[in-house]
Structure 1
Amino acid sequence: MKKLQIFLLIFLAVVGLSAQQSIAHDNHAKSQSNSMGISLAFDAHGSLWRVVENNGLIFVSSSRDLGETFSPPVQVTLNIQKIAADGEARPKIAIGPEGNIYLTWTEALKKPFTGYIWFSRSIDGGKSFEKPMIAHTDRAEITHRFDALNVAKTGDAKGKVTVTWVDKRDLIAAKSAAKPYEGAAIYYAVSNNQGASFLPEQKLADSSCECCRIALTNKPDGSVVAMWRHVFEGSERDHMMAEIPTQPNQAPAPKRATFGRWKIDGCPHHGAALATGGEDKDWWGYHMAWFDGGNDEAGKDASLFYARMDGEAWVSSPPKKFGKHSNQAGHPALLSRGDNVWLVWREIENKNNKIVGMFSDDGGRSWGAPKELATSAGKTDYPILLAKDNQAYLGWNTEKDGLILKGLSF
């Protein structure tokens, strides 16, 4: 046990997390007056939409000049809540193909590690938002946290809204029955009426990690695919992927996506990135990026990795290491358009935060040299990748320089 504690402390120091953050999972559900955790989305007209938490309330604003100025914020929540708005947890925003604006966020409840997933939408172009509702039917004061939001924009599922989250109802049930259970579970709820209501939630998989973000993307037919950090046998914290069922009574079929076999008795607070590979008839699978801590006590084997995953055979290409681990490289983001793929991540060097990126024009088979894209001192968020028309953008929220929105031309 002592050896494990030493390993955890060393590892956390290397990747830039505190021991309190990794072991006390509740830390990422604390509202802050100056929260860095935001989400961004472009609408069909090129306006940039931003959702933020401030002093326990959710606000949405828009920009018509690529983030130089924003409209007066519209208040979404009616009452002050303890809202997760930092690190792996933050409010989410998505724009539907019909122009609706969709939001989710996690409210932390009184008991440690517990929460509700809230949802709201605007059907009038962001002028107002409907009364928020809880996305799940389960109202127990347990873990429903680390929400992820997806709106399908193509195929038969066009306009379908999907919300996923980390849920501990099965862990609690197993404990009550004196049965073993590792980690938490991934649950999802689907709306087929543009967010007016949600079908009762369903379980996607057991034994997820407790505190890592869930990555979502879509196949060309609009169906949703999720990737999350999983607790495999022996407490190996690799990743799992699964398509969210589209038919009633269709059983999920989770498949292992990474094989680093990193063993750690704790939550890394370090989720994966996921993007579709190819489009329409040229679709072939998925781009994946993730962090693996290695199994050495010094942390020297820890790294970020990228791989391609075949969506049919579910076989991944050999993982490619990237990022400077000595600079605490972490929290990657991915964006793909046809054969063009952008991969960015955050590093810290000489007490300055910076975003580094790579570009591939052959579907991730080969990559150009890493380039420094932006720097900022002080507190910063994780990078966000966005697309408007045929242009890729880096979004980065910083304490010193505000929102940085930069077009990427590799």
Structure 2
Amino acid sequence: MLRKLIFAVLFLLLGMSVETALAASGAHQHGGGGQEPSFNHCLKPENSPSLLCANVPTPHIAPDGSLWLIWTEHGHVYVGHRKNPASGSFEKISRITKQARQLDINGESRPKIAVGPQGDVYLTFTAKGEKKYTGVVYFAQSQDGGNSFSVPRKISDEERPSSQRFATLGVNKQGRIHIAWLDKRDLFTAKKAKNNYSGSAMYYAFSDDRGNSFSANKKGMDHSCECCRTAMDYDLDDNPVIIWRHIFGKNFRDHAMLKIKADGTPEKMERISEDDWAIDGCPHHGPDLSISASGMRHVVWFTDADKRSGLFYAHQQKQGGMFSAPMGFGNPDNQAAHPQVLSVDEILYIVWKEFDGEKSSVLLIQSNDEGQSWSAPIPVATTKGASDHPFLIKDDKGLYLSWATAFEGWQLFTLAQR
């Protein structure tokens, strides 16, 4: 059981500062483990790589418990690895791209990394496309444990890829790789035919041969919102469930969920909530999903509808069942944003970011009963500068917060130990 976080909450109730509470609970902060001379270091491409300069760093803990981190810097994609997530320097940093590219590096459309059951390392990143607001998703793999990587190649099976962005990546226990993304090919086809088409579409592909080849691109659903992150987790039968912001009706931009069956075909799309947010634009604020050991699906999202506004959580007891009533969390006056949810054993955690006018903070709540009740929020990290989205990751030893800030660079906080 993750006891240390409970101790931190108790210390906060006794009036200790966040820093003191986390220190007393055994929480630790771990950066890249190298010397970071100054911000001037980041202005010179020849000094790369440096985690102080990392754009959109995204972590992943492999089945063997080691930490992998992917980020971009000066038009290149880098991957770092260390055996112990909680401490130490990165033993190896690999540059994936041979030449600098115009990369898509916003917080919603970030590079992703995953490790398969055989120790293969897989990654995706997005380069900007020829047209504005377009991109091309690339995939690369390592079949020698990260010692070397393949030349990145396009995931799209179009003759001339038109727009693939906001990709998510996963590998199941059998080693099947899944990639899902938002794609505008059908929008462009409709425009050429002078037909109406709302948004983009959610597409996906999969590989059963360690990433050497992929299935044909498959359309999961038409009319996704164009520019919010997608998310994926695996159901109890080892098949992926994908969520994204979708356009319902004329222009309600709420959230949808779709499971991919073992034969590679999609099941029926499910609507997560009926916020009825009517907006003719791109919120750049996607949802997140975590499926617990019991099979319950936990989701978090942002909306700014008349019906409800802010951050919300809900769960689905079983596939095809109704979602629970949305539960709001976070302080809308502090611009509460970009939530993430993670199930660990029988405990559920949610983190998000707020700005109080002077500093940005990552806040955390936890539930010990599958989302029926929740603790009071506690701040677990702060910065006075700009910052990236927060991420929760886990291993057999603990719970970690990954967060990159303009002043501190990339950091990994040990929030709790098992």
| Matched-pair contact (CA < 8 Å) for 1:36–1:380 | no
The yes-or-no answer on 1:238 pairing with 2:258 is: no
1:44-75 per-residue CA deviation (whole Å, 9 max, x = no partner) reads 33321111111111111112442552234211
**Out of 389, 400, 404, which is 1:393 matched to?**
400
**What SS is found at the alignment partner of 2:412?**
strand
Partner of 1:288: 299
| Percent of matched pairs sharing the same residue | 36
Residue 143 of structure 2 is aligned to residue 123 of structure 1: yes
Name which of structure 1's ranges 301-310 and 209-218 shifts more when overlaid on structure 2: 301-310
Residue 337 of structure 1: how far off its partner (Å): 2.4
Task: Work out the CA distance in 2 between the residues paired with 1:336 and 1:290.
Answer: 16
* Equivalent residues of 2:200, 2:225 under 8 A apart: yes
Matched with 2:317 is 310
In structure 2, C-alpha distance between the alignment counterparts of 1:390 and 1:61, rounded to whole Å: 20
2:184 equivalent in structure 1: 168
Gaps of 5+ in 1: 1-31
Name the CA distance, whole Å, in 1 between partners of 2:190 and 2:54: 36
Q: CA offset at residue 251 of structure 1? A: 4.8
Distance (Å, rounded) in 2 between the aligned partners of 1:68 and 1:326: 38
Among residues 261, 272, 276, which one is paired with 1:261 in the alignment?
A: 276
The partner residue of 1:220 within 236, 248, 262 is 236
Deviation at 1:390, TM superposition (A): 4.5
Aligned length: 366
3-state DSSP of counterpart to 2:190: helix
User: Residue 41 of structure 2 aligns with which residue?
Assistant: none
Q: Distance in 1 between matches of 2:191 and 2:207?
A: 32
In the superposition, relative to structure 1, how do residues 145 and 139 fare at CA in structure 2: closer, same or farther (>3 Å)? farther
Structure 2 distance, partners of 1:315, 1:95, is 33
Aligned counterpart, 1:330: 337
The answer on whether the counterparts of 2:110 and 2:125 sit within 8 Å (CA) in structure 1 is: yes
Contact 1:67 1:403 in 2 (8 A): no
Matches of 2:252 and 2:102, distance apart in 1: 32
- Once residues 358 and 92 of structure 2 are traced to their aligned partners in structure 1, the CA distance between those partners, rounded to angstroms, is 34
**1:73 alignment partner, SS class:** strand
Counterparts of 1:55 and 1:125 in 2: how far apart (Å)? 25
Quote the residue 2:165 is aligned against: 145
CA contact (8 A) 2:54 2:410 kept: no
Match of 1:207 in 2: 223
1:392 deviation in Å? Answer: 1.3
Partner of 1:15: none
Query: Is the contact between residue 205 and residue 252 of structure 1 (CA under 8 Å) also seen in structure 2?
Result: no
Asked if the contact 1:152–1:161 (Cα under 8 Å) also holds between the matched residues in 2, the reply is yes
Match of residue 26 from structure 2: none
2:114 aligns with 94
Q: State the Cα distance separating 1:35 from its structure 2 match.
A: 4.8
- Of 179, 194, 199, which aligns to 1:183? 199
Q: Is the CA contact 1:113–1:142 (under 8 Å) kept in the aligned structure 2?
A: no
2:72 aligned residue: 53
8 Å Cα contact 1:272/1:332 also seen in 2: yes
Q: State the alpha-carbon separation in 2 of the partners of residues 108 and 313 from structure 1.
A: 37
Residue of structure 1 in register with 2:365 after alignment: 358
Superposed displacement of residue 136, structure 1: 1.9
* Cα RMSD for the two superposed structures: 1.8
Deviations 1:271-330 (A, max 9, x none): 0010003x2xx32x300000011238xxxx521000002332331001100001111111
Counterparts of 2:87 and 2:334, CA distance in 1: 28
Q: Aligned partner of 2:246: which letter?
A: H
Q: Structure 2 length as normaliser, TM-score?
A: 0.84
Q: Quote the Cα distance in structure 1 between the aligned partners of 2:229 and 2:268.
A: 20
